[in-house]
Structure 1
Amino acid sequence: MSTVATAFADSSIMLRRNVKHTLRNPTTMFNAVLFPIVIMLMFVKVFGGAFSVGEHYIDYATPGLLVMAVSYGLGATATAVNDDMTKGIINRFKTMDVSRGAMLTGHVVVTTVRCLVACAAIVGVAFAMGFDPEASALDWLGVLGLFVLLAVGASWLTVAMGLAAKTTESAGLATVPLIMLPFLSSAFVPADTMGAGVKQFAEYQPFTPIIETLRGLLAGHVSQGDAIAAVAWCVGFAVLGYVWALSTFKKRA
């Protein structure tokens, strides 16, 4: 069997393993899929009437909630990766001649799949709440492509955090900034309405151009500048996370 075929087979095995762990952990499923919907209901139904965004609030908030669907599922990935590392499971896999890349890729793929499930759930609930996008079929493909790129990039960064953390608890805490950043972006209110300091932070942090690109695609008129920045941030997350993860894995495994 070729090296590529062996790595693919090992990755498939690791993916099945991680999927089973996800399905057996109700907390992971709740945080990754149901909690973003709870946040959606809270912001749209409870706080939405207080925000003036110049359009139907569900149309404005949905792109930010899609990004939150990615960030809320990352804690489980970081703790799972760290758990594998600190409990010696990685060393057991090494004695079985399992591809090293497959051990990490399995976590990335299952996290991306969880994010896609959460994305589908949020879009479905949004339509039920009156979501009315003007996106064409090509725009929807752009939304899906950017969402997957963000999920993969954030997953690799989270895997690296999980590997670098000394304990399972610290691994979970390491993802808190990624969970909080969408709240300090244009996810729920325009950055222009924020106070000094917070406004500048919201404008230049990574999630704002991603959210604005998703918002533009769903509205049918995306900004080229936002799109370039969004793709650059997602690719940057992926490259940084991949290099960091491999480097840490070689040192600790």
Structure 2
Amino acid sequence: MTPQSYVLTDSLTMLRRNLRRMIRYPTMIVMVIGMPVIFLLLFVYVFGGTLGAGLGTGSHEQFSGQAGGRAAYVNYVSPAIMLMTVTAVVQGTATSVATDMTEGIIARFRTMSIARVSVLTGHVLGSLIQVVLGVAVVTGIELLIGFRPTAGLGGWLGATGILLAAAFALIWLSVALGQASNSVETASNLPLPMMLLIFLGSGFVPTDSMPAGLRWFAEYQPFTPIMETLRHLLAGEPAGSTAIIALGWCVAILLGGYFWSRKLFNREYSG
């Protein structure tokens, strides 16, 4: 077998290992899906009537297709819930990586003839599968409670691509955070700021409703252009420069997370 074949075979083995762990601990799947769904139902049915009433007077009316109200708010908030599902997955990824790093399994891997890169690849691919499954379920629930996107096939493909790009970048960042943690508990808390960025952005209310300082932060942090791009694409609107900014953030996070992760892993694996 060629070196590339060994890498592929070992990566698939590590992927199966992580998928079996996911099946063995179904509570992790419930948390990944359950938390975004709870926030979706909370904001739509408790706050949606009031928050949605302001959507018809601003530029965000185009995303709802209606002049405000709870039905309009479902369309507005759904992209944020999709991204929240991604952040829920990557929190579990950091925990899983930290478990491997602190429980001695890496020392065992060092004694085995396996491709070094396959250890992290298995985590990344397993997390991507969880993202796809989680977002699919959450999107189905959004459709059941009134989410009505007007995008065509191109819009859906574009939104899927943006979500996968964001997920791939955030997964690598979470892999690095898991390796940098001294304990599993620390790893489970480090990705929490990702969740907060959804709230401190345009996830649940338009940024033009915020005070000046917070509005500046919300508009220039990485998650806002990602969510705005999703809204444009799912509404059948061109995303324009917002999509370019969103992809730029995804590339920057991906490169930072990947190289940081590789540095930490090489140091641990060679130690």
User: Where does 1:146-185 land on structure 2 (aligned, <5 Å)?
Assistant: 146-185=162-201
Q: Distance in 1 between matches of 2:171 and 2:12?
A: 17
Q: CA deviation at 1:96?
A: 1.1
1:53 to 52, 55, 59: 55
Query: Could you tell me whether the CA contact under 8 Å between 1:15 and 1:107 is conserved in 2?
Result: yes
2:204 to 180, 185, 188: 188
The amino acid across from 1:13 in the alignment is T
Q: Distance in 2 between matches of 1:180 and 1:139?
A: 27
Q: CA deviation at 1:197?
A: 1.4
Other-structure match for 2:68:
none
Q: Distance in 2 between matches of 1:33 and 1:9?
A: 30
Q: CA deviation at 1:76?
A: 1.4
Q: CA deviation at 1:34?
A: 2.0
Q: Calculate percent identity across the aligned residue pairs.
A: 41
Other-structure match for 2:119:
103
What are the superposed Cα offsets for residues 123-161 of structure 1, whole Å, 9 maximum, x if unpaired? 111111121111010111101111111111100000001
Other-structure match for 1:83:
99
Other-structure match for 1:66:
82
Q: CA deviation at 1:235?
A: 1.4
Q: Distance in 2 between matches of 1:126 and 1:87?
A: 39
The amino acid across from 1:245 in the alignment is S
What are the superposed Cα offsets for residues 173-220 of structure 1, whole Å, 9 maximum, x if unpaired? 111111211111101110000122111111010000000000000011
Q: Distance in 1 between matches of 2:147 and 2:192?
A: 29
Other-structure match for 2:2:
2
Higher Cα Rg, which structure: 2
Q: CA deviation at 1:13?
A: 0.6
In the alignment of these two chains, the number of paired residues is 253
What are the superposed Cα offsets for residues 221-246 of structure 1, whole Å, 9 maximum, x if unpaired? 13311100111111111111110001
Q: Which portions of structure 1, spanning 4 or more consecutive aligned residues, are displaced by more than 2 angstroms? A: none
Q: Which moved more, 1:234-243 or 1:202-211?
A: 234-243
Other-structure match for 1:223:
239
In structure 1, runs of 5+ residues without a counterpart are: none
TM-score, normalising length: structure 2: 0.91
Other-structure match for 1:42:
42
Query: Could you tell me whether the CA contact under 8 Å between 1:33 and 1:114 is conserved in 2?
Result: no
SS at 1:252 equivalent: helix
Q: CA deviation at 1:31?
A: 2.0
Q: Distance in 2 between matches of 1:109 and 1:33?
A: 18
2:156 to 123, 140, 161: 140
Query: Could you tell me whether the CA contact under 8 Å between 1:79 and 1:172 is conserved in 2?
Result: yes
The amino acid across from 1:114 in the alignment is Q
The amino acid across from 1:11 in the alignment is S
Other-structure match for 1:28:
28
Q: Distance in 1 between matches of 2:29 and 2:239?
A: 34
Q: Which moved more, 1:47-56 or 1:61-70?
A: 47-56
Q: Distance in 2 between matches of 1:24 and 1:172?
A: 19
Q: Distance in 2 between matches of 1:59 and 1:196?
A: 26
In structure 2, runs of 5+ residues without a counterpart are: 57-63, 65-71
